[in-house]
């Protein structure tokens, strides 16, 4: 089966070389029994590739089960995956088969596998190594013959460093990695996808299909699409329903595009190993903000000194080249020239009404916290307040799973 046939069969749209490479890797590994780990940002379409692997494999007549690991509460995920015996915990009124037992002879797709609790990771590692598992509340070892395909938008190497994911499990899952490119790296496919979605929604809602003016096409291609294909599809649907004009210009399109954040996902994906000097985009952003604030304080002090002592020849001689030193040490673009003793600084005379000293109130300058943990806690609290304590909506607002939000709330002592 050719790549063109695979795209037609599974409804994949696009001609990007990165996309076709990922399809080709999935096609090659399908005939084997090795484990596969799929990497990609949220919304890129990772869920299609496990189906390609399953349908092109000898297991295609067996069951295919997709499990969203991030959507299952930590207390019940072992029961969901491996089953439980009657009476093994409160509410276990009868024995239940888990996904690994039901999927015997087929394929199990573990979406958001990076969100698995550590205890569950130990159980999963045993399945990968020996094909054995034990139901919750049982002591009997059972065998299963399943192929595991995992997917994640997590930087797994960082998760390993932070102790959130087992290194041995990572290498067992990651026998063959498949990386799905984000939409911004498939620029040649963006307009093609838009036209396909526009045609689909025109048929669905029985309206004429929308099209883009040249300036709107330019905006479409230059936008970063943090939500990837899912975001593009949603915006196309909104335009198809809400706009009366079928020819969309750039100004109209901009009204539907939220400002793209500097990061494209809560966790930065990396292709290789990372060193201790590397920063995630979010860490780098806070570092830049901190340096900017420091530079601004330095500049205010410098300007204050110039205003007070700039006419003093001794001070000007002593501080000649101060701006150049500031530029060299901080890396800040030099926008204050080196002081030249030949230049006379005219300080304007300001007439200020006298204010009794007794009326001057002391004040304290409060330094704003730039701690990542403080900012994360603040964002979580704001999201919970906005949605009146509803964790599901708050998690969606923050772009994380509900289980991750629950863990963070416990970590920071936040009560909804």
Q: Kindly state whether residues 39 and 162 are assigned to the same domain.
A: yes
Q: Which residues contact 221 (CB under 8 A, 6 or more apart)?
A: 187, 190, 191
pLDDT of 350: 45
Q: Say which range, 30-34, 83-87, 256-260, 263-267, has the weakest mean pLDDT.
A: 263-267
d(CA 169, CA 156): 11
pLDDT at residue 64 greater than cutoff 80: yes
Query: For the chain, what is the domain count?
Result: 4
What's the whole-number mean pLDDT along residues 293-301? 65
Tell me which residue has tokens 């490119």: 181
pLDDT of 111: 95
Contact 138, 159 (CB under 8 A): no
Q: Kindly state whether residues 327 and 384 are assigned to the same domain.
A: no
Q: Say which range, 83-97, 123-137, 283-297, has the weakest mean pLDDT.
A: 283-297
pLDDT of 169: 94
What's the whole-number mean pLDDT along residues 64-87? 90
Q: Kindly state whether residues 126 and 141 are assigned to the same domain.
A: yes
Contact 1, 56 (CB under 8 A): yes
Work out the angle at residue 224's Cα, subtended by the Cα atoms of residues 219 and 230, and round it to the nearest 5 degrees.
100
pLDDT of 295: 65
pLDDT band at 308 (very low <50, low <70, confident <90, very high): low
Q: Kindly state whether residues 43 and 169 are assigned to the same domain.
A: yes
Residue 43 lies in a domain: yes
Tell me which residue has tokens 């093994």: 88
Contact 217, 50 (CB under 8 A): no
Give tens-digit pLDDT for 309-358: 656 666 565 555 544 444 444 444 444 444 444 444 444 444 445 545 45
Q: Which residues pair with 150 in a beta bridge?
A: 37, 110
d(CA 105, CA 107): 7
Neighbours of 239 (CB within 10 A): 23
Largest pairwise CA distance in the chain: 93
CATH number for the domain that contains residue 250: 1.10.8.60
CATH number for the domain that contains residue 391: 1.10.10
Q: Kindly state whether residues 189 and 60 are assigned to the same domain.
A: no
**Among candidate residues 179, 195, 225, the one where a domain is terminated:** 179
Q: Kindly state whether residues 27 and 115 are assigned to the same domain.
A: yes
Domain boundaries, position 401: 372-412
* DSSP label at residue 389: T
pLDDT band at 297 (very low <50, low <70, confident <90, very high): low
Q: Kindly state whether residues 232 and 294 are assigned to the same domain.
A: no
Q: Kindly state whether residues 22 and 81 are assigned to the same domain.
A: yes
Residue 275 lies in a domain: no
Residue 365 lies in a domain: no
Give tens-digit pLDDT for 204-238: 999 999 999 999 999 999 999 999 999 999 999 99
pLDDT of 157: 92
Q: For the chain, how far is it from start to end, CA to CA, in angstroms? A: 53
d(CA 73, CA 80): 10
């Amino acid at each position: 089966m050719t790549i063109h046939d695979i795209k037609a069969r599974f409804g994949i749209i696009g001609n990007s070389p990165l996309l076709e490479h990922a399809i080709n890797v999935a096609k090659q590994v399908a005939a084997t029994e090795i484990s596969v780990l799929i990497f990609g940002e949220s919304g890129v379409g990772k869920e299609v590739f496990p189906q390609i692997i399953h349908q092109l494999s000898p297991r295609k007549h067996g069951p295919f089960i997709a499990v969203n690991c991030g959507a299952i509460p930590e207390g019940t995920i072992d029961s969901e995956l491996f089953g439980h015996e009657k009476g093994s915990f409160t509410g276990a009124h009868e024995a239940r088969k888990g996904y690994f037992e039901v999927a015997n002879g087929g394929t199990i797709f573990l979406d958001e596998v990076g969100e698995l609790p550590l205890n569950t990771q130990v159980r999963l590692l045993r399945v990968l190594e020996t094909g054995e598992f034990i139901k919750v509340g049982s002591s009997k070892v059972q065998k299963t013959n399943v192929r595991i395909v995992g997917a994640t938008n997590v930087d797994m190497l960082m998760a390993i460093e932070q102790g959130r994911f087992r290194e041995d499990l990572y290498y067992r899952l990651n026998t063959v990695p498949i990386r799905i490119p984000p939409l911004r790296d498939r620029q040649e496919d963006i307009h093609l996808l838009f036209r396909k979605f526009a045609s689909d929604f025109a048929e669905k809602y029985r309206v004429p299909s929308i099209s883009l003016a040249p300036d709107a096409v330019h905006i479409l291609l230059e936008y970063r699409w943090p939500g990837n294909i899912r975001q593009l599809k949603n915006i196309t649907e909104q335009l198809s329903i809400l706009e009366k004009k079928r020819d969309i210009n750039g100004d109209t399109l901009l009204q539907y595009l939220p400002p793209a954040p500097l990061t494209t996902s809560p966790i930065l994906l990396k292709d290789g190993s990372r060193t201790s000097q590397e920063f995630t985009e979010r860490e780098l952003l806070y570092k830049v903000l901190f340096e900017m604030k420091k530079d601004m304080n330095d500049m205010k002090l410098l300007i204050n000194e110039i205003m007070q002592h700039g006419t003093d020849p001794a001070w000007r001689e002593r501080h000649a080249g101060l701006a150049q030193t500031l530029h060299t040490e901080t890396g800040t673009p030099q926008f204050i020239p080196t002081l030249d003793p030949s230049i006379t600084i005219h300080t304007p005379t300001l007439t200020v009404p006298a204010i009794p000293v007794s009326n001057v109130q002391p004040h304290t300058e409060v330094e704003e916290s730039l701690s990542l943990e403080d900012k994360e806690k603040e964002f979580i609290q704001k999201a919970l307040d906005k949605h009146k304590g509803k964790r599901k909506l708050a998690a969606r607002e923050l772009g994380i799973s509900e289980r991750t939000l629950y863990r963070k709330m416990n970590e920071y002592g936040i009560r909804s």
